[in-house]
A and B are shown apart, each in its own frame.
Chain A
Amino acid sequence: MIVEGTYPLPGTPVVIWDLLMDPEVLAKAMPGTKLLVRAAADRYEGVMRIGIGPITAAEFELVIALTDVLPPYSYAMQIDGKGRAGFTRGTAKVELVPEGAGSVMHYSADLQVGGKIAAVGQRLLDSVSKLLTRQGLEALNRELNHRLGGAPA
């Protein structure tokens, strides 16, 4: 499953970068994240609960490992989520390109989904992934605006 796109964010890459490394901000960018801690410089661990329509019992243990970190412009993530409802894992790339006063985030993720959610939730996967991405980016944007003291977008 491929998810990709671009999204304008307030602030220059330098400003955004530190916030992106903040587990609290990162958590907001991943809807349903109940807990996220920075276990190491390049490793986050947490719990994510996805509740969409009929799927309310999908809780995942989440591990995110950062790779190819090129502050303040780009990094990649190894995402690994496991739960009773199945698993999701893959890689995501995030790139910040300065544009005017702000930046444009180029994101792309290639995710595998397995187990029960893949087997019986197929009809909804595409819509759900689009929804989570949109929600995540909007949340991230709100958070950045908030932290940068700007008005919420």
Chain B
Amino acid sequence: MKPAAFEYHRPASLDEALALLAEHEDAKPLAGGQSLIPAMNFRLAAPAALIDLNGIGALARTGGMDDGGLQLGAMTRHCTLERSPLVAERAPLLAEAMPCIAHPQIRNRGTVGGSLAHADPAAELPAVMVALEATLVLRSASAERRVPAEQFFTGLFATALEPGELLTSIELPPPPARSGFAFQELARRHGDYALVGVAAMLTLNEAGQCSRARVALLSVGDGPVLAVRAAAALAGQPPSASSILAAAELAAREDVDPPSDIHASAAYRRQLVRVLTRRALTRAAGRVRPSSSIPT
């Protein structure tokens, strides 16, 4: 299990990286490498060249934005997000999901941008970003564009990234007032690919009814799956046990067409969607804060 030979580049700046990417068609960017390198060790992946982004400090900057949101540099490592008080305060859903990602040794190396660009259907971060309505900033040698997470994930390991483009940062809006969140997943063992996971954001109006619900599911499709029917069912309802139960049932029956593998049949995944969605929404509802505590 040794990787095939490849050319190695370690640009010191983003521009240099984009230039390299533009000139090497079959080059692959190397972020944390925690998914790419195993695939290379198995020789399931054999890129002709790697462009190592670990030398570009500018891509690792993470901080708060004036609107109370967050900006995450693509090369920010999982362990940094996991330990960041700012993330805990401004994106508690993200903070809750972090410990579910593999193990400490992987989180010390893995990066948020790498995980999103890899777009593994079983990964936590894509679903979390969709639930949080994050905006992804993509740069090419010639231009920069901003893509909502929901449109970034286009299929199985497929994203809106064009050849020559890099994901440079992720912007998270501040948690809305009267919103609650929850992340739930079931894996065979702690840190394994989840059999099913749910990232839920729930926002209530003054009347205590759901004004907005975002339920993003992982490991049930080609990418993160937004449970739109479940969300629609909740709209205008108080987050009661019965309305949540009904929403979870819809999510399982109509929002997903899950795959089967040796660990979980489609039917079992459906059941997990049913149960975990209910549990996540219940917890999210219980966490709704009267008003935003984010200083803006």
Direct contact of A and B (CB under 8 A): yes
Cross-chain contact A130 with B44 (CB below 8 angstroms):
no
The residues of A that contact B38 with a CB separation of less than 8 Å are 54
Determine if A127 and B120 form an interchain contact, defined as CB atoms under 8 angstroms apart: no
- A57 touching B46, Cβ below 8 Å: yes
The residue of chain B having its C-beta at the shortest distance from the C-beta of A125 within the complex is B261
* Cβ contact within 8 Å between B39 and A54: yes
In terms of DSSP, what is the predominant structure of the interface of chain A? Answer: helix
How far in angstroms is the closest Cβ of chain B from A72?
A: 33
Query: What A residues does B249 contact at CB under 8 A?
Result: none
Closest to A128 in B: B156
New A-B contacts (5) at CB < 8 Å, excluding given A56-B44, A116-B44, A126-B260: A53-B156, A54-B39, A57-B44, A85-B43, A122-B262
Contact B262–A53 (Cβ < 8 Å):
no
Listed by A's residue number, 25 A-B pairs whose Cβ atoms lie within 8 Å are A52-B156, A52-B157, A54-B118, A55-B44, A55-B45, A56-B28, A56-B39, A56-B44, A57-B4, A57-B43, A84-B43, A85-B44, A116-B43, A116-B44, A117-B44, A120-B44, A122-B261, A123-B261, A126-B260, A127-B121, A127-B156, A127-B222, A128-B156, A130-B259, A131-B155
Smallest beta-carbon distance B116→chain A, Å = 13
Q: Are A54 and B157 in contact (CB under 8 A)?
A: yes
| Interface size grouping (class) on chain B | 20 to 34
Quick check: is A58 within 8 A (CB to CB) of the other chain? yes
Docked Cα-Cα span, A117 to B38, in Å, equals: 14
- Asked whether B80 is an interface residue with its Cβ less than 8 Å from the other chain, the reply is no
The answer, yes or no, to whether A71 is at the interface (CB within 8 Å) is: no
**Which residues of A sit under 8 angstroms from B119, Cβ to Cβ?**
53
* Interface: A114 (CB within 8 A): no
CB contacts (< 8 Å) of A152 on chain B: these are none
Q: How far is the CB of B254 from chain A (nearest CB, A)?
A: 18
Residues 98 to 120 of chain B near chain A (Cβ within 8 Å): 118-120
Rounded to whole Å, the gap between the CB of A87 and the closest CB of chain B is 14
Q: Is the CB of B259 within 8 A of A53?
A: no
Known: A121-B44, A128-B156. A54 touches B260 (CB 8 A): no
Q: Check B156–A131 contact: CB distance below 8 A.
A: yes
Q: How large is the interface on A (under 10, 10 to 19, 20 to 34, 35 or more residues)?
A: 20 to 34
Minimal beta-carbon separation of B235 from chain A (angstroms): 30
- A residues near B (Cβ < 8 Å) are 52-58, 84-85, 116-117, 120-128, 130-131
Q: Chain B contact residues: over half helix, strand or loop, or mixed?
A: loop
A70–B183 alpha-carbon span in the complex (Å): 55
For residue B234, CB closer than 8 A to chain A, the reply is no
Q: How far is the CA of A53 from the CA of B38 in the complex (A)?
A: 13
Query: Assuming A123-B193, A127-B156, is B44 touching A54 (CB within 8 A)?
Result: yes
- Measured CB to CB, the nearest residue on chain B to A117 is B44
Q: Does B8 contact A (CB under 8 A)?
A: no
Are A120 and B42 in contact, CB atoms less than 8 angstroms apart? yes
Q: Closest CB-CB distance, A147 to chain B, in whole Å?
A: 26
- The residues of A that contact B46 with a CB separation of less than 8 Å are 56-57
For the complex, give the distance between the alpha carbons of A117 and B44 in Å. 8
B47 within 8 A of A: yes
List chain A residues, Cβ under 8 A from B122. 123
Most chain A CB within a 10 A radius of its CB, from B39, B44, B261: B44
Closest A residue, CB atoms, query B44: A55
Chain A residues near B262: list those with CB within 8 A: 122-123
Give Cα A123–Cα B193 distance, bound, in whole angstroms. Answer: 9
Q: A127-B121, A131-B156 are in contact. Are A54 and B259 (CB under 8 A)?
A: no
Interface residue B36 (Cβ < 8 Å from any Cβ of A): yes
Is B35's CB within 8 Å of the partner chain A? yes
Determine the residue in chain B with the shortest Cβ distance to A123.
Answer: B261
B28: A residues at CB distance < 8 A: 56
